[in-house]
Amino acid sequence: LSELGFSKFLYLGEILKKNEGCIQEMVSNLIWYRKDQPFVVDKIKLDQVEALLSNQESVDTLRKVVSFREKPNSDDYLDGDNDVHYFSDSVPWAQKIESFRFVDCGAFTGDTLTSLVDISKEYDKKIDNVVLFEPEDDNRKKLIQTASQYQNFQYYIYPCGVWKENAYLRFSSNASSSAVIDDNAKDTDSYQIMCIDIDTALIGAKPNWIKMDIEGAEKEAIIGAKETIRMYSPILTIAIYHQPYDLWEIPLLIHEINPNYDMYIKAHGCFTVETVLYCIPKNIK
């Protein structure tokens, strides 16, 4: 925008302060915002999550997210940061791995893969291999085009979703990066996809980084990866904003599976969309 001649910029948070009334309209369709619904926040479990977090910034982020859920207003609005999505340089992941054995659950068209390649160059770390899960046909065609540009590492593309077990589930696509599993979807707007669990799919692969952004299926996918998480303590970067309860259920589930993690929370997007849980192993296995 600067190159195009624009000189004055306002963050969304600044605009919202001048137009307070629009906040209610904008959050009304977000799944975590339901008036008088007890599942919007669970204070007991959120206190447990807060105790697991490894720095004050993450605690403050969590509190801000919760405050905005309880009472959406400009004072509690949290602007997304400028960190690279899933590879925040304010989270101490770089010293934990020598090279990348990366698993991308929800690979979309290859946006995270492109970021991974850039990050590997920035940190001078080799990419050994990448496993990409993407069930949507059009996305996967573009993903293949993106991945084919890179010839210096092995990559494997799975035409399926990730779940707690091997199963066929209904898949509802809205022609964007968001495509959700929906058992109630009508036949006219959904179709079946094959889903597999990571423990079965990646026997012996020993991944050291697993990223999940799979539109509300993260908890089930973590259950399907529990042996991998328990055995190898891979770095985990998990979206925790799709379902209202993801904010507390996912960190507590991971801690139950493997307590060998320092945890951080980063808000990368507007309206706390793109909130990500970073799990960094305390000890490498």
Q: For 111-131, how does the pLDDT look when each residue is reduced to its tens digit (9 = 90+)?
A: 999 999 999 999 999 999 999
Separation between Cα atoms, residue 229 and residue 208, nearest integer Å: 9
Find the DSSP H helices in 30-81.
43-52, 56-70
Higher-pLDDT residue of 123 and 19 is 123
pLDDT at residue 49 in the model: 98
Q: Hey, which bits of 112-207 come out as E strands?
A: 126-133, 154-158, 161-162, 167-173, 179-181, 190-196
Highest averaged pLDDT of the listed ranges 20-29, 71-80, 185-194, 210-219: 210-219
- Give the pLDDT of residue 181: 59
pLDDT digits (tens, 9 = 90+) for 231-241: 999 999 999 99
The answer on pLDDT for 14 being more than 70 is yes
Q: Which residue has the higher pLDDT, 282 or 188?
A: 282
- Alpha-carbon gap, residue 61 to 266, rounded angstroms: 7
Q: Are 236 and 131 in contact (CB under 8 A)?
A: no
With a cut of 70, say whether residue 183 has pLDDT above it: no
Contact by Cβ (8 Å): 161, 195: yes
Q: Which of 42-51, 166-175, 209-218 shows the lowest mean pLDDT across its residues?
A: 166-175
Average pLDDT rounded to a whole number, residues 9-38: 76
What's the average model confidence in pLDDT over 25-42?
73
**Residue 176 reports pLDDT greater than 50:** no
Instruction: Give 128 or 272, the one with higher predicted confidence.
Output: 128
pLDDT category of residue 150 using cuts at 50, 70 and 90: very high
Q: Which DSSP category does 240 fall into?
A: -
pLDDT at 270 over 90: no
Query: 209: which strand partners?
Result: 102, 235
For 128-137, 188-197, 200-209, 214-223, which range has the lowest pLDDT when averaged over its residues?
Answer: 188-197
pLDDT of the residue at 64: 92
Task: Please list, residue by residue across 139-176, b when 16 or more beta carbons sit within 10 angstroms of its beta carbon and e when fewer do.
Answer: bbeebeebbeebeebebebbebbbbbeeeebbbbbeee
User: Sorting pLDDT into bands at 50, 70 and 90, what band is 177?
Assistant: very low
Mean pLDDT of the chain: 89
